[in-house]
Structure 1
């Protein structure tokens, strides 16, 4: 009695489809990673400002200047002074950063990231 062994595995076509899907996923990731890396730099700069002693007593222009000096270290290019707003709260300021990042994806399709974060800046410099 003869038994036939059947081969199992991917065909060349299915392997190419898997490679295309993985490649497209990596391409999307390469477009999104810098956007989120910049967002985390903004969050880090805000948290660092919150720890500055006496930041709640400072004028908004000085706080904004300190914020952008911290961002320049991280090579942030999408956050502009118009994206930063200050609201007076008890004991200091609430600093809000609201900005949008647009990256070209394929042809006339873009990936748009809208980022919105805020941080309380109190008199004693702690959150």
Structure 2
């Protein structure tokens, strides 16, 4: 006779599967390294977005297309000063005449030490038309 007795909830025990200590350490190391890289890259890109924002706000300035290039550069660096930008220098900014006003080009490079003798390098390029009307085309 084969009888199935049901007393309570008698099921075979399952082996619990989980992350081992070694796996946890490996995951923690990968996440830590990614966070370290992010902390090195974030200020570079934050400065890049500040440069873009400064150029766009300068393009919205009324009559900017008729201004003298030195005045445009002064206004641009005043906007960058507010954002604590340290890597953009005067030699990185070029202002060229176009049909409807000026074209502001900012080309600069940021180098940060990463690990040992390895560096992370960011090369950034921003271009913005500054028209006579004060808006963007």
2:65 matched residue in structure 1: 56
Counterpart check, 1:20 vs 2:20: no
Q: CA deviation at 1:7?
A: 2.0
1:111 matched residue in structure 2: 120
Counterpart check, 1:39 vs 2:48: yes
Q: SS of the residue aligned with 1:24?
A: helix
Q: Which among 66, 78, 83 is matched to residue 75 of structure 2?
A: 66
RMSD after superposition: 1.3
CA distance in 1, matches of 2:21, 2:48: 41
CA distance in 2, matches of 1:3, 1:94: 75
Q: Taking structure 2 as the reference length, what is the TM-score of the superposition?
A: 0.89
Structure 1: gaps (5+ residues): none
Q: Report runs of 4+ in structure 1 exceeding 3 Å deviation.
A: none
Q: Which has the larger radius of gyration?
A: 2
CA distance in 2, matches of 1:14, 1:104: 29
CA distance in 1, matches of 2:12, 2:74: 79
Q: SS of the residue aligned with 2:110?
A: strand
